[in-house]
Amino acid sequence: MAHAPQDQIAPLLTPEGWELLASMGPYREQDSFELNSALRKGGHSPGLVSAVLTQSRLRTRAEAKFGEFARQMLFTQAGLEQATRLNVAAHHAQRFAAAGISRVADLGCGLGADSLALASLDINVTAVEMDETTAACATVNLIPFPNATVVHADAASVPLDGVDGVWLDPARRVTSTSGTKRIWDPEAFSPPLSFVESLAAEGKAVGVKMGPGMPHDSVPAGCEAQWVSVAGDVTEVTLWFNAVRRPGVRRAALVLGPQGTAELTSADDFGAGPSAPVGPVEGYLYEPDGAVIRAGLVADVALQLRGHLVDEHIAYICAPDLLDTPFARAYKVLDVMPYNVKALKAWVKQEGITVLDIKKRGTAVTPEELRKQLLPGGKSSGGKKGAGKTATLVLTRIGEERVAIVVEPA
């Protein structure tokens, strides 16, 4: 039976619970059964032990988003899934700071990641959360900041007098006994996109985090849409209105990677802007970052690389030269073959390939299934890397023709 979130948080908000949680080391699944038995034998109630082990597991998972801060924070499963990574929250907060906004309402603050980033820049934050358990977690997480206040209320009902900036991260998931489920309709979010637009219409500096799959035709006029990717994973699109919108920017791709931060922007509306030529598969194949694709900036990257698209509808770029760019991954083109399973199987055998990385775009092929068909013995994993010959195949369409491009990472 699934535990209600409050059953997992309330026992921790006691001196015994907090002390026990603080004594936990990093969570290891293989040790959890023994640890559970040992804590119960030590006289702790089953409810407290369950809450502490759940929280310990969530804290360990949260380190990917919050780093060492996670060790002092409280989490719920659903809250952690939607929580903004701390390095992304820092970018949100800097927008408000750069615009000279001193008082921000964080409506639907969740576990308080964005409030934490705002408060750390000396901005006064009112963090509003409708879910009582999540609000309790946010209160604990914001204890180090006297300039942050948590209010347990419906985001749409809080008076905003004296607040000059609003940040929103609407709930895009519903929680049930079977877990959490994603919602796609912006009007079904809590609060809905129309509420966000009404705040912007009042002239307030408004930023709102939306799911990265938001269709271009759902993006309101008069805002800047910034898609964000972290280490190659597109995490969100943020809509910026009024004072936090940058002049001359309609859409942007912000790429946060191991090499640092890079951004590509365009003043053109969706569907407008430069177009890139179409040409043959040659030289180097570039796979644009997901944020670049979502923001509709593939042609801009192709032109930067002095390259061309291999098909006008598909986000693969080819260029004669290898140029360093944070906006795409580069591969050296080794060969181009028609897509034919029998011929590819013969090629795999002839080359002695045991590890096959398959990428695809614009084709219905399932890489896992194809890998089983092509590799000797139908091994889906193809053995351990280093144990044999590795190859990378890119499957795509050029017009009506399906092709398999053999590449190696550049």
Query: For strand 103-107 and strand 165-168, is the pairing parallel, antiparallel, or unpaired?
Result: parallel
- Where in the chain is CATH 3.40.50.150? 80-266
The CA distances from residue 203 to 58, 101, 144, 222, in Å, are 39, 13, 31, 12
Place of tokens 């820049």: 121
pLDDT of 383 strictly over 60: no
Q: Return the CATH architecture of domain 80-266.
A: 3-Layer(aba) Sandwich (3.40)
How would residue 3 be classed by pLDDT, with cut points 50, 70 and 90? Answer: low
- Supply the pLDDT for residue 387: 58
Shortest CA distance to 135 belongs to which of 10, 3, 2, 49?
A: 10
What pLDDT, in 10s, does the model give residues 66-90?
A: 999 999 999 999 899 989 999 999 9
User: What mean pLDDT is predicted for residues 378-397?
Assistant: 72
What pLDDT, in 10s, does the model give residues 277-318?
A: 999 999 999 999 999 999 999 999 999 999 999 999 999 999
User: What mean pLDDT is predicted for residues 231-240?
Assistant: 95
Place of tokens 């309790």: 136
User: What mean pLDDT is predicted for residues 207-232?
Assistant: 95
How would residue 189 be classed by pLDDT, with cut points 50, 70 and 90? Answer: confident
User: What mean pLDDT is predicted for residues 323-349?
Assistant: 96
What pLDDT, in 10s, does the model give residues 237-287?
A: 999 999 999 999 999 999 998 889 999 999 999 999 999 999 999 999 999
Query: How far is Cα 348 from Cα 391, in angstroms, rounded to an integer?
Result: 9
Note whether 59 and 70 are within 8 A (CB): yes
How would residue 380 be classed by pLDDT, with cut points 50, 70 and 90? Answer: very low
What pLDDT, in 10s, does the model give residues 128-170?
A: 999 999 999 999 999 999 999 999 999 989 999 999 999 998 8
Note whether 173 and 180 are within 8 A (CB): yes
pLDDT of 59 strictly over 90: yes
Average of per-residue pLDDT values in the chain: 92
How would residue 349 be classed by pLDDT, with cut points 50, 70 and 90? Answer: very high
- Supply the pLDDT for residue 379: 58
Burial of 142 from C-beta contacts in 10 A (0-12 / 13-18 / 19+) = buried
Reduced 3-state DSSP string for the chain: CCCCHHHHHHHHCCHHHHHHHHCCCCCCHHHHHHHHHHHHHCCCCHHHHHHHHHHHHHHHHHHHHHHHHHHHCCCCHHHHHHCCCHHHHHHHHHHHHHCCCCEEEEECCCCCHHHHHHHHCCCEEEEEECCHHHHHHHHHHCCCCCCEEEEECCHHHCCCCCCCEEEECCECEEEECCEEEECCCHHHCECCHHHHHHHHHCCCEEEEEECCCCCHHHCCCCCEEEEEEECCEEEEEEEEEHHHCCCCCCEEEEEEECCEEEEEEECCCCCCCCCCCECCCCEEEEEECHHHHHCCCHHHHHHHCCCEEEECCEEEEEECCCCCCCCEEEEEEEEEEECCHHHHHHHHHHHCEEEEEEEEECCCCCHHHHHHHHCHHHCCCCCCCCCCEEEEEEEEEECCEEEEEEEEEC
- Supply the pLDDT for residue 382: 43
Note whether 104 and 96 are within 8 A (CB): yes
pLDDT of 12 strictly over 60: yes
Query: For strand 353-361 and strand 308-311, is the pairing parallel, antiparallel, or unpaired?
Result: unpaired
Query: How far is Cα 360 from Cα 195, in angstroms, rounded to an integer?
Result: 39
